[in-house]
Amino acid sequence: MTGFGRAEHATDHLIARVEISSVNRKQADIVFNLPRELSAIEPALRKLVLEEVSRGRVNVSINLEAASASTDSLSINPTRAQALEAAFTELSDLLNRPIQACSHDFLRAPGVFLFQDSGINPDQATEAIHPALEAALANLVTMRTREGVDLNADFLERLDLLENATAIISEKAPLVVVRQRENLQNRLREAEIEINLNDERLLKELALFSERCDISEETTRLASHFAKFRETMELTEPVGRSLDFLCQEINRELNTIGSKANDAGIAQHVVIGKTELEKIREQVQNVE
């Protein structure tokens, strides 16, 4: 599911700014953008994200800055500075004319001035990042929840259409056996084959044929799947994979009905049902 969240948190040492964005993906894929020196704390941050997100590609961008003026310091290497000054004095004596080192000579000479980076303390970074990450995750979840509400309404509407198609199939189902029995008897008469309605072989074949055409078991299971689908959508825990499984089972029953019924009217409503089901399955793949 898609969403976005942003938050920041300041401590005495650091200011952490966190941005989280998510797009649809069947599995959870968490990508962090962290300063390299903080790679050690990434597993703990990843665990925090996975507590709220079980599906989707999630990009987490974390920026840190010092809460006060930079603590970086500048120092001078006296040995190198004196060596540079001595070199210019020696050059003056060699050329027999005064040559003095200027400020830019010292700046360009390697190792004379040393910048000492205080670095980022992982414990201080964690103290700043955790509250910001939790707040950003809360904003992300809020946005994804609004999308979930819209998806829920769409699922219920399409589930109603599926149940209507199944109800029509159930009404037509008893007529299938009668129609197929009449068709079989008509074919036998047209072939001028004498029919003995008391013939055990004929009765056995008709019974087997009736059993093969019976779809009452499938329609009963469909009703159960529909009820379970509605029940699952009411849960507060992640339900995406459960709904995905139910869609597979509903599709299986519709396929069985279509192959067993051998009836154009029923086949038409099977197609209608599978069309609506496919629209549900496309969205369910990304549901949390």
Backbone angles phi, psi at 147, to 5 degrees: -65, -40
Average pLDDT for 242-265: 87
Res 260: pLDDT: 79
What's the whole-model pTM score? 0.62
Res 188: pLDDT: 67
Average pLDDT for 56-66: 89
Q: Which of 124-128, 172-176, 195-199, 242-246 has the lowest mean pLDDT?
A: 195-199
* Pair (208, 178) in one structural domain: yes
Q: Would the pLDDT of 256 be above 60?
A: yes
* Pair (106, 134) in one structural domain: no
* Pair (156, 241) in one structural domain: yes
Q: How far apart are CA 129 and CA 35, in angstroms?
A: 12
Q: How far apart are CA 151 and CA 157, in angstroms?
A: 10
Residue 31's DSSP bridge partners are 59
* Pair (180, 203) in one structural domain: yes
* Pair (109, 210) in one structural domain: no
Q: What angle do CA 151, 53, 31 make, to 5 degrees?
A: 120
Query: What is the domain range of residue 37?
Result: 3-69+120-139
Res 229: pLDDT: 93
Q: Would the pLDDT of 76 be above 60?
A: yes
How many independent structural domains does the chain possess?
3
* Pair (106, 164) in one structural domain: no
Could you tell me the two tokens for 215?
A: 């779809």
Please say which residue of 105, 139, 173 terminates a domain.
139
* Pair (149, 278) in one structural domain: yes
* Pair (54, 102) in one structural domain: no
Res 8: pLDDT: 92
Q: Would the pLDDT of 281 be above 80?
A: yes
CATH number of the domain encompassing residue 264: 1.20.120
Could you tell me the two tokens for 174?
A: 């008893």
Q: Would the pLDDT of 61 be above 90?
A: yes
Q: Would the pLDDT of 54 be above 80?
A: yes
pLDDT tens sequence across 83-129: 888 988 888 888 888 888 888 888 888 878 775 555 678 888 999 99
* Pair (77, 89) in one structural domain: yes
* Pair (212, 91) in one structural domain: no
* Pair (124, 59) in one structural domain: yes
* Pair (151, 49) in one structural domain: no
Average pLDDT for 53-65: 89
Give percent of the chain with pLDDT exceeding 70.
85
CATH number of the domain encompassing residue 20: 3.30.230.40
Res 275: pLDDT: 92
54 close to 287: Cβ distance less than 8 angstroms = no
Q: Would the pLDDT of 202 be above 70?
A: no
Q: Would the pLDDT of 144 be above 70?
A: yes
